[in-house]
Chain A
Protein backbone atom coordinates (compact mmCIF):
# COMPACT_ATOMS: atom_id res chain seq x y z
CA UNK A 1 0.00 0.00 0.00
CA UNK A 2 1.33 3.41 -0.92
CA UNK A 3 2.25 5.35 2.17
CA UNK A 4 1.22 8.96 2.26
CA UNK A 5 3.39 11.54 3.94
CA UNK A 6 2.40 14.80 5.59
CA UNK A 7 4.71 17.67 6.41
CA UNK A 8 4.02 20.70 8.55
CA UNK A 9 5.16 23.99 7.05
CA UNK A 10 6.75 26.60 9.28
CA UNK A 11 6.27 30.29 8.63
CA UNK A 12 7.27 33.44 10.44
CA UNK A 13 5.56 36.75 9.68
CA UNK A 14 3.99 35.25 6.59
CA UNK A 15 7.28 34.01 5.10
CA UNK A 16 8.05 30.31 4.80
CA UNK A 17 11.17 29.26 6.67
CA UNK A 18 14.00 27.23 5.15
CA UNK A 19 13.11 24.18 7.25
CA UNK A 20 9.78 24.02 5.41
CA UNK A 21 11.62 23.38 2.13
CA UNK A 22 13.91 20.88 3.83
CA UNK A 23 11.04 18.75 5.14
CA UNK A 24 9.04 18.91 1.89
CA UNK A 25 12.13 17.87 -0.10
CA UNK A 26 12.77 14.94 2.22
CA UNK A 27 9.11 13.88 2.17
CA UNK A 28 9.19 13.86 -1.64
CA UNK A 29 12.29 11.66 -1.72
CA UNK A 30 10.61 9.17 0.61
CA UNK A 31 7.23 9.33 -1.15
CA UNK A 32 8.88 8.57 -4.47
CA UNK A 33 9.91 5.27 -2.89
CA UNK A 34 6.56 4.47 -1.26
CA UNK A 35 4.53 5.56 -4.26
CA UNK A 36 2.51 7.78 -1.95
CA UNK A 37 1.67 11.45 -1.98
CA UNK A 38 3.04 14.43 -0.07
CA UNK A 39 0.60 16.77 1.66
CA UNK A 40 1.84 19.87 3.44
CA UNK A 41 -0.16 21.57 6.15
CA UNK A 42 0.33 25.33 6.26
CA UNK A 43 -1.10 27.52 9.02
CA UNK A 44 -0.91 31.28 9.20
CA UNK A 45 -2.66 34.61 9.16
CA UNK A 46 -4.84 35.89 6.30
CA UNK A 47 -2.91 35.74 3.02
CA UNK A 48 -0.62 32.84 3.94
CA UNK A 49 -2.33 30.78 1.25
CA UNK A 50 -0.42 32.71 -1.41
CA UNK A 51 2.73 30.82 -0.35
CA UNK A 52 1.17 27.39 -0.78
CA UNK A 53 1.37 26.64 -4.49
CA UNK A 54 5.11 27.32 -4.59
CA UNK A 55 5.73 24.27 -2.41
CA UNK A 56 4.77 22.13 -5.38
CA UNK A 57 8.13 22.84 -6.98
CA UNK A 58 9.81 21.20 -3.98
CA UNK A 59 7.62 18.12 -4.08
CA UNK A 60 4.30 18.77 -2.34
CA UNK A 61 1.33 17.27 -4.19
CA UNK A 62 -1.19 19.12 -2.07
CA UNK A 63 -1.08 21.94 0.45
CA UNK A 64 -3.84 22.34 3.01
CA UNK A 65 -4.07 25.93 4.13
CA UNK A 66 -5.63 27.10 7.39
CA UNK A 67 -5.80 30.90 7.40
CA UNK A 68 -6.97 32.79 10.43
CA UNK A 69 -5.91 35.89 12.32
CA UNK A 70 -5.52 33.67 15.41
CA UNK A 71 -2.96 31.56 13.52
CA UNK A 72 -0.82 34.44 12.28
CA UNK A 73 1.70 33.67 15.03
CA UNK A 74 2.48 30.24 16.40
CA UNK A 75 0.91 29.22 19.69
CA UNK A 76 1.03 25.65 20.92
CA UNK A 77 -2.66 25.38 21.80
CA UNK A 78 -4.14 26.74 18.59
CA UNK A 79 -1.69 25.08 16.22
CA UNK A 80 -1.94 21.73 17.94
CA UNK A 81 -5.73 21.82 17.86
CA UNK A 82 -5.96 22.66 14.15
CA UNK A 83 -3.14 20.40 12.99
CA UNK A 84 -4.23 17.38 15.05
CA UNK A 85 -7.67 17.55 13.45
CA UNK A 86 -6.22 17.85 9.93
CA UNK A 87 -3.78 14.99 10.43
CA UNK A 88 -6.54 12.76 11.75
CA UNK A 89 -8.61 13.58 8.69
CA UNK A 90 -5.78 12.88 6.22
CA UNK A 91 -4.44 9.91 8.23
CA UNK A 92 -0.96 9.82 6.68
CA UNK A 93 1.47 7.01 7.58
CA UNK A 94 4.37 9.38 8.12
CA UNK A 95 4.52 12.97 9.40
CA UNK A 96 7.66 15.07 9.04
CA UNK A 97 8.38 18.48 10.51
CA UNK A 98 11.39 20.53 11.53
CA UNK A 99 13.22 20.25 14.84
CA UNK A 100 13.18 24.03 15.15
CA UNK A 101 12.11 25.57 18.44
CA UNK A 102 8.56 25.71 17.12
CA UNK A 103 8.74 22.19 15.68
CA UNK A 104 10.03 20.66 18.90
CA UNK A 105 7.32 22.34 20.94
CA UNK A 106 4.55 21.33 18.55
CA UNK A 107 5.69 17.83 17.57
CA UNK A 108 5.92 16.56 21.15
CA UNK A 109 2.43 17.73 22.01
CA UNK A 110 1.01 16.60 18.69
CA UNK A 111 2.52 13.13 19.04
CA UNK A 112 0.96 12.80 22.49
CA UNK A 113 -2.39 14.00 21.15
CA UNK A 114 -2.31 11.63 18.17
CA UNK A 115 -0.83 8.72 20.11
CA UNK A 116 1.95 8.66 17.52
CA UNK A 117 5.58 7.58 17.71
CA UNK A 118 8.06 10.44 17.46
CA UNK A 119 11.75 10.49 16.60
CA UNK A 120 13.07 13.92 17.57
CA UNK A 121 15.87 15.91 15.94
CA UNK A 122 16.79 13.39 13.23
CA UNK A 123 19.82 13.70 11.00
CA UNK A 124 18.66 11.12 8.43
CA UNK A 125 15.44 9.39 7.40
CA UNK A 126 15.08 6.13 5.53
CA UNK A 127 12.55 3.36 4.85
CA UNK A 128 12.83 -0.32 5.66
CA UNK A 129 11.66 -3.15 3.40
CA UNK A 130 8.08 -2.69 4.56
CA UNK A 131 8.24 1.02 3.80
CA UNK A 132 8.24 1.88 7.46
CA UNK A 133 10.20 4.92 8.56
CA UNK A 134 13.64 4.40 10.05
CA UNK A 135 14.86 7.59 11.66
CA UNK A 136 18.45 8.22 12.66
CA UNK A 137 19.05 10.60 15.53
CA UNK A 138 21.98 11.52 17.74
CA UNK A 139 21.75 10.56 21.41
CA UNK A 140 24.06 11.21 24.35
CA UNK A 141 25.02 14.54 22.83
CA UNK A 142 26.10 12.96 19.57
CA UNK A 143 28.30 10.30 21.21
CA UNK A 144 26.10 7.67 19.57
CA UNK A 145 23.56 7.59 16.73
CA UNK A 146 20.34 5.61 17.08
CA UNK A 147 18.24 4.09 14.33
CA UNK A 148 14.68 4.36 15.57
CA UNK A 149 11.83 2.12 14.50
CA UNK A 150 8.16 2.59 15.14
CA UNK A 151 5.57 0.28 16.70
CA UNK A 152 3.22 -1.37 14.23
CA UNK A 153 0.32 0.67 13.06
CA UNK A 154 1.06 3.99 14.73
CA UNK A 155 1.56 7.28 12.96
CA UNK A 156 5.32 7.61 12.39
CA UNK A 157 6.47 11.12 13.21
CA UNK A 158 9.96 12.57 12.83
CA UNK A 159 11.44 16.02 13.20
CA UNK A 160 14.57 16.84 11.24
CA UNK A 161 17.44 18.95 12.56
CA UNK A 162 17.69 22.26 10.69
CA UNK A 163 20.41 22.46 8.03
CA UNK A 164 21.07 18.73 7.64
CA UNK A 165 18.46 17.84 5.00
CA UNK A 166 19.24 19.15 1.52
CA UNK A 167 16.63 21.25 -0.23
CA UNK A 168 15.61 19.81 -3.60
CA UNK A 169 16.32 21.75 -6.78
CA UNK A 170 12.91 23.37 -7.40
CA UNK A 171 11.05 21.97 -10.39
CA UNK A 172 8.86 24.85 -11.57
CA UNK A 173 6.83 22.55 -13.79
CA UNK A 174 5.27 20.98 -10.71
CA UNK A 175 2.52 22.63 -8.76
CA UNK A 176 0.60 21.68 -5.67
CA UNK A 177 -3.17 21.51 -5.34
CA UNK A 178 -4.10 24.12 -2.76
CA UNK A 179 -7.03 23.41 -0.51
CA UNK A 180 -8.29 25.96 2.01
CA UNK A 181 -9.79 24.59 5.14
CA UNK A 182 -12.10 26.51 7.47
CA UNK A 183 -10.75 27.22 10.93
CA UNK A 184 -12.88 27.00 14.02
CA UNK A 185 -11.00 27.22 17.27
CA UNK A 186 -12.40 26.15 20.60
CA UNK A 187 -11.54 29.32 22.51
CA UNK A 188 -12.03 27.60 25.87
CA UNK A 189 -9.10 25.29 25.21
CA UNK A 190 -6.65 28.11 24.46
CA UNK A 191 -4.78 28.45 27.72
CA UNK A 192 -1.70 30.27 26.50
CA UNK A 193 -1.43 33.67 24.95
CA UNK A 194 1.45 35.26 23.09
CA UNK A 195 1.93 38.64 24.79
CA UNK A 196 4.98 39.93 22.98
CA UNK A 197 7.57 39.04 20.38
CA UNK A 198 10.91 40.59 21.20
CA UNK A 199 12.75 40.30 17.92
CA UNK A 200 16.50 40.17 17.87
CA UNK A 201 17.52 43.21 15.85
CA UNK A 202 21.12 42.15 15.17
CA UNK A 203 20.14 40.99 11.69
CA UNK A 204 22.28 37.88 12.23
CA UNK A 205 20.96 34.38 11.66
CA UNK A 206 20.18 32.36 14.77
CA UNK A 207 23.02 30.00 15.70
CA UNK A 208 20.87 26.94 14.97
CA UNK A 209 20.27 28.16 11.42
CA UNK A 210 23.57 29.94 10.70
CA UNK A 211 25.64 28.76 7.75
CA UNK A 212 28.86 30.10 9.24
CA UNK A 213 29.66 30.49 12.95
CA UNK A 214 32.68 32.18 14.52
CA UNK A 215 32.92 31.10 18.16
CA UNK A 216 35.08 32.31 21.01
CA UNK A 217 36.05 30.64 24.27
CA UNK A 218 38.00 31.39 27.38
CA UNK A 219 40.96 32.23 25.16
CA UNK A 220 39.17 35.49 24.24
CA UNK A 221 40.13 36.73 27.73
CA UNK A 222 37.45 39.42 27.86
CA UNK A 223 34.02 40.28 26.50
CA UNK A 224 35.42 43.37 24.77
CA UNK A 225 37.72 41.21 22.68
CA UNK A 226 34.76 39.53 20.99
CA UNK A 227 34.76 42.68 18.81
CA UNK A 228 37.42 41.04 16.62
CA UNK A 229 35.17 38.00 16.17
CA UNK A 230 32.24 40.28 15.31
CA UNK A 231 34.38 41.93 12.64
CA UNK A 232 35.33 38.56 11.17
CA UNK A 233 31.68 37.47 11.34
CA UNK A 234 30.56 40.62 9.52
CA UNK A 235 32.86 39.83 6.62
CA UNK A 236 31.66 36.22 6.43
CA UNK A 237 27.97 36.90 7.07
CA UNK A 238 28.44 34.70 10.12
CA UNK A 239 26.88 34.52 13.58
CA UNK A 240 29.05 34.69 16.70
CA UNK A 241 28.87 31.84 19.20
CA UNK A 242 30.66 31.08 22.45
CA UNK A 243 31.79 28.30 24.75
CA UNK A 244 30.23 27.94 28.16
CA UNK A 245 33.36 29.41 29.76
CA UNK A 246 32.85 32.62 27.81
CA UNK A 247 29.15 32.69 28.71
CA UNK A 248 29.71 31.91 32.38
CA UNK A 249 32.33 34.68 32.51
CA UNK A 250 29.56 37.04 31.41
CA UNK A 251 31.27 37.93 28.12
CA UNK A 252 28.38 36.69 26.00
CA UNK A 253 24.67 36.06 26.64
CA UNK A 254 23.35 32.54 27.27
CA UNK A 255 21.69 32.41 23.89
CA UNK A 256 25.14 32.39 22.26
CA UNK A 257 26.30 29.22 23.99
CA UNK A 258 27.13 26.25 21.79
CA UNK A 259 27.27 22.80 23.36
CA UNK A 260 25.53 20.23 25.45
CA UNK A 261 23.71 22.77 27.60
CA UNK A 262 23.74 25.34 24.83
CA UNK A 263 22.72 25.12 21.22
CA UNK A 264 23.33 22.30 18.79
CA UNK A 265 24.55 23.87 15.57
CA UNK A 266 25.04 22.52 12.05
CA UNK A 267 26.78 25.25 10.03
CA UNK A 268 28.82 24.68 6.89
CA UNK A 269 31.77 26.32 8.63
CA UNK A 270 32.54 26.57 12.35
CA UNK A 271 35.58 28.60 13.40
CA UNK A 272 36.55 27.94 17.03
CA UNK A 273 38.84 30.59 18.50
CA UNK A 274 40.44 29.98 21.89
CA UNK A 275 38.20 26.99 22.59
CA UNK A 276 39.82 23.84 23.97
CA UNK A 277 37.19 21.43 22.60
CA UNK A 278 35.75 19.84 25.74
CA UNK A 279 33.36 16.98 25.22
CA UNK A 280 30.42 19.21 26.17
CA UNK A 281 31.39 21.83 23.62
CA UNK A 282 31.93 19.23 20.89
CA UNK A 283 28.43 17.92 21.65
CA UNK A 284 27.05 21.10 20.15
CA UNK A 285 29.26 21.61 17.13
CA UNK A 286 30.73 18.26 16.08
CA UNK A 287 28.28 17.90 13.20
CA UNK A 288 29.41 21.14 11.56
CA UNK A 289 30.45 20.39 7.99
CA UNK A 290 33.88 22.02 8.23
CA UNK A 291 35.58 22.88 11.51
CA UNK A 292 38.49 25.29 11.88
CA UNK A 293 40.34 25.70 15.17
CA UNK A 294 42.66 28.47 16.21
CA UNK A 295 44.39 27.67 19.47
CA UNK A 296 47.85 28.33 20.85
CA UNK A 297 48.03 24.92 22.51
CA UNK A 298 48.98 22.30 19.88
CA UNK A 299 47.58 19.58 22.17
CA UNK A 300 44.13 21.13 22.56
CA UNK A 301 41.52 18.39 21.94
CA UNK A 302 39.72 20.61 19.42
CA UNK A 303 42.46 19.79 16.89
CA UNK A 304 41.30 16.15 16.91
CA UNK A 305 37.97 17.26 15.45
CA UNK A 306 39.05 20.19 13.32
CA UNK A 307 39.42 19.85 9.57
CA UNK A 308 41.86 22.73 9.55
CA UNK A 309 43.88 24.04 12.44
CA UNK A 310 46.14 26.95 13.15
CA UNK A 311 48.41 26.69 16.16
CA UNK A 312 48.93 30.21 17.34
CA UNK A 313 47.65 33.25 19.18
CA UNK A 314 44.13 34.10 18.05
CA UNK A 315 44.78 37.79 18.62
CA UNK A 316 47.47 37.63 15.91
CA UNK A 317 45.44 35.57 13.48
CA UNK A 318 41.83 36.74 13.65
CA UNK A 319 42.45 40.29 12.34
CA UNK A 320 44.69 39.02 9.53
CA UNK A 321 42.16 36.33 8.59
CA UNK A 322 39.46 38.99 8.48
CA UNK A 323 41.51 40.92 5.91
CA UNK A 324 42.20 37.77 3.88
CA UNK A 325 38.51 36.84 3.80
CA UNK A 326 37.69 40.41 2.73
CA UNK A 327 40.07 40.02 -0.19
CA UNK A 328 38.62 36.71 -1.33
CA UNK A 329 35.08 38.00 -0.94
CA UNK A 330 35.76 40.99 -3.18
CA UNK A 331 37.28 38.85 -5.93
Chain B
Protein backbone atom coordinates (compact mmCIF):
# COMPACT_ATOMS: atom_id res chain seq x y z
CA UNK B 1 0.00 0.00 0.00
CA UNK B 2 1.40 3.39 -0.98
CA UNK B 3 0.82 5.85 1.81
CA UNK B 4 1.47 9.58 1.64
CA UNK B 5 1.74 11.83 4.68
CA UNK B 6 1.51 15.58 4.22
CA UNK B 7 3.37 17.42 6.93
CA UNK B 8 3.92 21.06 7.78
CA UNK B 9 6.65 22.67 9.78
CA UNK B 10 5.18 25.06 12.36
CA UNK B 11 6.43 27.14 15.30
CA UNK B 12 6.72 25.19 18.54
CA UNK B 13 3.62 25.45 20.72
CA UNK B 14 5.53 27.41 23.38
CA UNK B 15 6.53 30.15 20.91
CA UNK B 16 5.71 33.70 21.91
CA UNK B 17 4.05 35.17 18.87
CA UNK B 18 5.21 38.67 17.87
CA UNK B 19 3.52 40.70 15.17
CA UNK B 20 5.87 42.24 12.58
CA UNK B 21 6.14 45.97 11.92
CA UNK B 22 3.85 45.80 8.88
CA UNK B 23 1.22 44.19 11.12
CA UNK B 24 0.39 41.47 8.62
CA UNK B 25 2.67 38.61 9.63
CA UNK B 26 4.39 37.22 12.68
CA UNK B 27 8.12 37.59 13.30
CA UNK B 28 9.71 34.33 12.19
CA UNK B 29 13.31 34.82 13.39
CA UNK B 30 14.58 32.79 16.33
CA UNK B 31 11.64 30.47 16.29
CA UNK B 32 11.94 26.83 17.27
CA UNK B 33 10.27 24.85 14.48
CA UNK B 34 8.56 21.50 14.91
CA UNK B 35 6.47 19.10 12.87
CA UNK B 36 2.80 20.09 13.24
CA UNK B 37 1.66 17.90 16.20
CA UNK B 38 -1.40 16.62 14.28
CA UNK B 39 0.85 15.48 11.42
CA UNK B 40 2.77 13.24 13.83
CA UNK B 41 -0.40 11.19 14.20
CA UNK B 42 -0.46 10.82 10.41
CA UNK B 43 3.16 9.65 10.26
CA UNK B 44 2.53 7.14 13.05
CA UNK B 45 -0.65 5.78 11.48
CA UNK B 46 1.07 5.48 8.09
CA UNK B 47 3.88 3.47 9.67
CA UNK B 48 1.36 1.19 11.38
CA UNK B 49 -0.55 0.64 8.13
CA UNK B 50 2.70 -0.19 6.37
CA UNK B 51 3.66 -2.61 9.14
CA UNK B 52 0.32 -4.36 8.71
CA UNK B 53 -0.25 -4.21 4.96
CA UNK B 54 3.21 -3.62 3.52
CA UNK B 55 4.03 -0.87 1.04
CA UNK B 56 5.77 2.47 1.40
CA UNK B 57 5.42 5.74 3.28
CA UNK B 58 6.28 9.00 1.50
CA UNK B 59 6.30 12.31 3.35
CA UNK B 60 5.51 15.49 1.41
CA UNK B 61 5.79 19.05 2.67
CA UNK B 62 5.35 22.49 1.17
CA UNK B 63 7.77 24.95 2.69
CA UNK B 64 11.15 26.61 2.65
CA UNK B 65 14.44 24.74 3.01
CA UNK B 66 14.17 24.55 6.80
CA UNK B 67 11.11 22.30 6.43
CA UNK B 68 13.52 19.47 5.51
CA UNK B 69 14.07 19.17 9.30
CA UNK B 70 10.44 18.15 9.75
CA UNK B 71 10.74 15.71 6.84
CA UNK B 72 13.91 14.23 8.37
CA UNK B 73 12.04 13.77 11.64
CA UNK B 74 9.39 11.74 9.82
CA UNK B 75 12.08 9.75 8.02
CA UNK B 76 13.72 9.08 11.38
CA UNK B 77 10.41 7.80 12.71
CA UNK B 78 10.44 5.30 9.84
CA UNK B 79 9.03 6.87 6.68
CA UNK B 80 10.78 5.72 3.50
CA UNK B 81 11.25 8.87 1.48
CA UNK B 82 10.55 12.57 1.49
CA UNK B 83 9.64 15.30 -0.93
CA UNK B 84 9.89 19.02 -0.28
CA UNK B 85 7.92 21.39 -2.47
CA UNK B 86 10.14 24.41 -2.22
CA UNK B 87 9.74 27.41 -4.47
CA UNK B 88 9.35 31.12 -3.87
CA UNK B 89 6.16 30.80 -5.89
CA UNK B 90 4.68 28.70 -3.05
CA UNK B 91 5.32 31.31 -0.38
CA UNK B 92 2.70 33.24 1.59
CA UNK B 93 -0.15 31.23 0.16
CA UNK B 94 -3.33 30.15 1.90
CA UNK B 95 -3.97 26.49 2.60
CA UNK B 96 -5.81 26.05 -0.69
CA UNK B 97 -2.78 27.04 -2.71
CA UNK B 98 -0.65 24.72 -0.55
CA UNK B 99 -3.17 21.95 -1.24
CA UNK B 100 -2.87 22.65 -4.98
CA UNK B 101 0.89 22.16 -4.81
CA UNK B 102 0.47 18.99 -2.74
CA UNK B 103 -2.08 17.63 -5.21
CA UNK B 104 0.24 18.24 -8.14
CA UNK B 105 3.04 16.39 -6.36
CA UNK B 106 0.88 13.51 -5.15
CA UNK B 107 -0.47 12.95 -8.67
CA UNK B 108 3.07 11.99 -9.67
CA UNK B 109 3.27 9.40 -6.86
CA UNK B 110 1.41 6.14 -6.36
CA UNK B 111 -1.07 6.74 -3.52
CA UNK B 112 -3.87 4.91 -1.80
CA UNK B 113 -4.14 6.54 1.63
CA UNK B 114 -3.11 10.15 2.21
CA UNK B 115 -2.82 11.60 5.70
CA UNK B 116 -2.98 15.27 6.67
CA UNK B 117 -3.22 16.74 10.14
CA UNK B 118 -6.76 17.92 10.88
CA UNK B 119 -5.32 21.40 11.19
CA UNK B 120 -1.95 23.12 11.37
CA UNK B 121 -1.37 24.84 14.69
CA UNK B 122 0.00 28.01 13.08
CA UNK B 123 -2.78 29.23 10.81
CA UNK B 124 -5.37 26.92 12.44
CA UNK B 125 -7.19 26.61 9.13
CA UNK B 126 -8.39 23.00 9.07
CA UNK B 127 -8.85 23.23 5.31
CA UNK B 128 -5.88 21.68 3.50
CA UNK B 129 -6.95 18.04 3.78
CA UNK B 130 -10.42 18.46 2.28
CA UNK B 131 -9.13 20.83 -0.38
CA UNK B 132 -6.42 18.32 -1.32
CA UNK B 133 -9.03 15.57 -1.60
CA UNK B 134 -11.08 17.77 -3.91
CA UNK B 135 -8.12 18.64 -6.14
CA UNK B 136 -7.26 14.94 -6.39
CA UNK B 137 -10.90 14.07 -7.05
CA UNK B 138 -11.00 11.53 -4.22
CA UNK B 139 -13.03 11.23 -1.00
CA UNK B 140 -12.06 12.59 2.41
CA UNK B 141 -12.77 11.59 5.96
CA UNK B 142 -11.82 14.47 8.24
CA UNK B 143 -10.77 14.30 11.90
CA UNK B 144 -10.40 10.55 12.37
CA UNK B 145 -9.58 8.66 15.56
CA UNK B 146 -9.57 5.13 14.16
CA UNK B 147 -8.73 3.68 10.75
CA UNK B 148 -9.05 0.18 9.34
CA UNK B 149 -8.11 -0.64 5.78
CA UNK B 150 -10.10 -3.50 4.22
CA UNK B 151 -8.07 -6.61 3.40
CA UNK B 152 -8.68 -6.17 -0.35
CA UNK B 153 -7.13 -2.69 -0.17
CA UNK B 154 -10.10 -1.13 -1.97
CA UNK B 155 -11.69 0.75 0.91
CA UNK B 156 -11.27 1.73 4.54
CA UNK B 157 -13.48 2.47 7.50
CA UNK B 158 -12.75 5.39 9.79
CA UNK B 159 -14.22 6.71 13.02
CA UNK B 160 -14.86 10.41 13.14
CA UNK B 161 -15.94 12.17 16.36
CA UNK B 162 -18.63 14.82 15.92
CA UNK B 163 -20.72 16.78 18.41
CA UNK B 164 -22.65 14.23 20.44
CA UNK B 165 -21.07 11.02 19.15
CA UNK B 166 -18.94 9.22 16.62
CA UNK B 167 -19.54 8.43 12.97
CA UNK B 168 -18.32 5.29 11.28
CA UNK B 169 -17.59 6.04 7.63
CA UNK B 170 -16.53 3.80 4.78
CA UNK B 171 -14.52 5.42 2.01
CA UNK B 172 -13.22 4.06 -1.26
CA UNK B 173 -9.49 4.24 -1.82
CA UNK B 174 -7.63 6.36 -2.66
CA UNK B 175 -8.80 8.64 0.12
CA UNK B 176 -7.59 11.56 2.25
CA UNK B 177 -7.78 11.22 6.04
CA UNK B 178 -7.17 14.08 8.45
CA UNK B 179 -5.85 13.02 11.83
CA UNK B 180 -6.95 13.85 15.34
CA UNK B 181 -5.50 13.20 18.79
CA UNK B 182 -6.63 9.80 20.03
CA UNK B 183 -5.74 8.05 16.76
CA UNK B 184 -2.48 6.72 18.18
CA UNK B 185 0.61 7.58 20.23
CA UNK B 186 3.31 8.78 17.83
CA UNK B 187 6.65 7.00 18.31
CA UNK B 188 9.85 8.90 18.95
CA UNK B 189 12.63 8.79 16.41
CA UNK B 190 15.25 6.33 17.70
CA UNK B 191 18.96 7.06 17.42
CA UNK B 192 19.45 4.39 14.70
CA UNK B 193 16.36 5.84 13.03
CA UNK B 194 17.95 9.28 12.99
CA UNK B 195 21.18 7.85 11.52
CA UNK B 196 19.26 5.97 8.82
CA UNK B 197 17.14 9.01 7.99
CA UNK B 198 20.21 10.87 6.79
CA UNK B 199 20.59 8.37 3.94
CA UNK B 200 16.95 8.23 2.89
CA UNK B 201 15.95 9.91 -0.38
CA UNK B 202 14.65 13.47 -0.08
CA UNK B 203 13.70 15.14 -3.33
CA UNK B 204 13.01 18.81 -3.89
CA UNK B 205 10.50 20.04 -6.44
CA UNK B 206 9.71 23.49 -7.76
CA UNK B 207 6.44 24.74 -9.21
CA UNK B 208 7.92 24.24 -12.67
CA UNK B 209 8.87 20.61 -11.90
CA UNK B 210 5.24 19.96 -11.04
CA UNK B 211 3.95 21.74 -14.11
CA UNK B 212 2.24 24.38 -11.98
CA UNK B 213 1.59 27.89 -13.22
CA UNK B 214 3.11 30.13 -10.51
CA UNK B 215 0.08 32.43 -10.67
CA UNK B 216 -2.15 29.63 -9.31
CA UNK B 217 -0.14 28.91 -6.15
CA UNK B 218 1.38 30.79 -3.22
CA UNK B 219 0.35 34.38 -2.57
CA UNK B 220 -0.65 34.88 -6.23
CA UNK B 221 -3.07 31.96 -6.18
CA UNK B 222 -4.58 32.71 -2.78
CA UNK B 223 -8.16 33.84 -2.42
CA UNK B 224 -7.60 35.26 1.06
CA UNK B 225 -4.91 37.36 2.64
CA UNK B 226 -4.28 38.80 6.06
CA UNK B 227 -5.15 42.46 6.28
CA UNK B 228 -4.12 42.99 9.86
CA UNK B 229 -2.91 40.99 12.86
CA UNK B 230 -3.83 42.09 16.34
CA UNK B 231 -2.97 40.70 19.77
CA UNK B 232 -5.82 38.80 21.41
CA UNK B 233 -8.23 40.85 23.49
CA UNK B 234 -6.71 41.16 26.95
CA UNK B 235 -8.69 39.86 29.86
CA UNK B 236 -8.83 42.30 32.71
CA UNK B 237 -7.23 41.10 35.91
CA UNK B 238 -9.58 38.87 37.80
CA UNK B 239 -10.21 38.69 41.50
CA UNK B 240 -9.15 36.09 44.01
CA UNK B 241 -12.08 35.35 46.26
CA UNK B 242 -11.13 36.08 49.87
CA UNK B 243 -12.59 34.67 53.06
CA UNK B 244 -11.92 32.77 56.28
CA UNK B 245 -13.44 29.40 55.52
CA UNK B 246 -14.13 27.10 52.60
CA UNK B 247 -17.85 27.71 53.07
CA UNK B 248 -17.51 31.48 53.10
CA UNK B 249 -15.34 31.61 49.98
CA UNK B 250 -17.54 29.13 48.13
CA UNK B 251 -20.70 31.07 48.93
CA UNK B 252 -19.01 34.29 47.82
CA UNK B 253 -17.89 32.82 44.51
CA UNK B 254 -21.34 31.44 43.73
CA UNK B 255 -22.90 34.80 44.54
CA UNK B 256 -20.42 36.59 42.26
CA UNK B 257 -21.17 34.21 39.40
CA UNK B 258 -24.87 34.70 39.94
CA UNK B 259 -25.14 38.44 40.66
CA UNK B 260 -22.09 39.97 39.00
CA UNK B 261 -21.10 37.70 36.10
CA UNK B 262 -24.69 36.45 35.64
CA UNK B 263 -23.59 33.11 34.23
CA UNK B 264 -25.54 30.85 36.59
Q: Roughly how many angstroms separate A146 CA and B17 CA in the complex, as a whole number?
A: 13
CB neighbours of A254 from chain B (8 A):
145, 180-182
The answer to whether the Cβ of B190 comes within 8 Å of any Cβ in the partner chain is no
B264:A260 contact, CB within 8 angstroms: no
Instruction: Determine if A104 and B142 form an interchain contact, defined as CB atoms under 8 angstroms apart.
Output: yes
Contact B123 A139 (CB under 8 A): yes
Q: Complex: how many Å from CA A101 to CA B97?
A: 23
Q: Which of A183-201 contact B (CB under 8 A)?
A: 191-200
Residue from B128, B254, B261 having most chain A Cβ neighbours under 10 A:
B254
Q: Is A67 an interface residue (CB 8 A)?
A: no
**Is A76 interfacial (CB-CB < 8 Å)?**
yes
A162 to chain B, nearest CB (A): 8
The residues in B between 7 and 50 inclusive whose CB is less than 8 angstroms from any CB of A are 11, 13-17, 19, 26, 37-38
Q: Which residues of A contact B14 (CB under 8 A)?
A: 279
Q: Return chain B residues, CB-CB under 8 Å to A206.
A: 163-164
Bound-state CA distance A142–B235 (Å) is 13
Residue of A nearest to B162 (CB): A101
Pick from A109, A142, A150, A208: contact of B140, CB under 8 Å: A109
Answer yes or no: B151 CB below 8 A from chain A CBs. Answer: no
Q: CB < 8 Å: which of B17, B133, B141, B247 contacts A144?
A: B17
**A-B residue pair count with CB separations less than 8 angstroms:** 257
Q: Count the A residues whose beta carbon is within 8 Å of the partner chain — how many?
A: 91
Are A104 and B229 within 8 A (Cβ)?
A: no
Q: Check: B53 CB closer than 8 A to any chain A CB.
A: no
Task: Establish whether residues B121 and A140, one from each chain, have CB atoms under 8 Å apart when the complex forms.
Answer: yes
Interface assignment of B109: CB less than 8 Å from any CB of chain A: no
Q: A292-B257, A307-B261, A308-B256 are in contact. Are A191 and B126 (CB under 8 A)?
A: no
> Which 5 A-B pairs rank lowest in CB-CB distance, beginning with the nearest?
A117-B223, A254-B182, A108-B130, A206-B163, A112-B134
Selected A-B contacts with CB under 8 Å, 26 pairs = A101-B143, A108-B131, A109-B130, A109-B140, A111-B127, A111-B131, A112-B134, A117-B94, A144-B230, A144-B231, A147-B227, A147-B228, A192-B169, A195-B157, A197-B165, A254-B180, A261-B121, A269-B261, A290-B257, A292-B253, A305-B238, A308-B256, A316-B246, A317-B249, A320-B246, A321-B250
B contact residues vs A (CB 8 Å cutoff): 11, 13-17, 19, 26, 37-38, 94, 96, 99, 121-131, 133-135, 138-143, 145, 157, 160-172, 175, 180-182, 222-233, 235, 238-241, 246-247, 249-251, 253-258, 261, 263-264
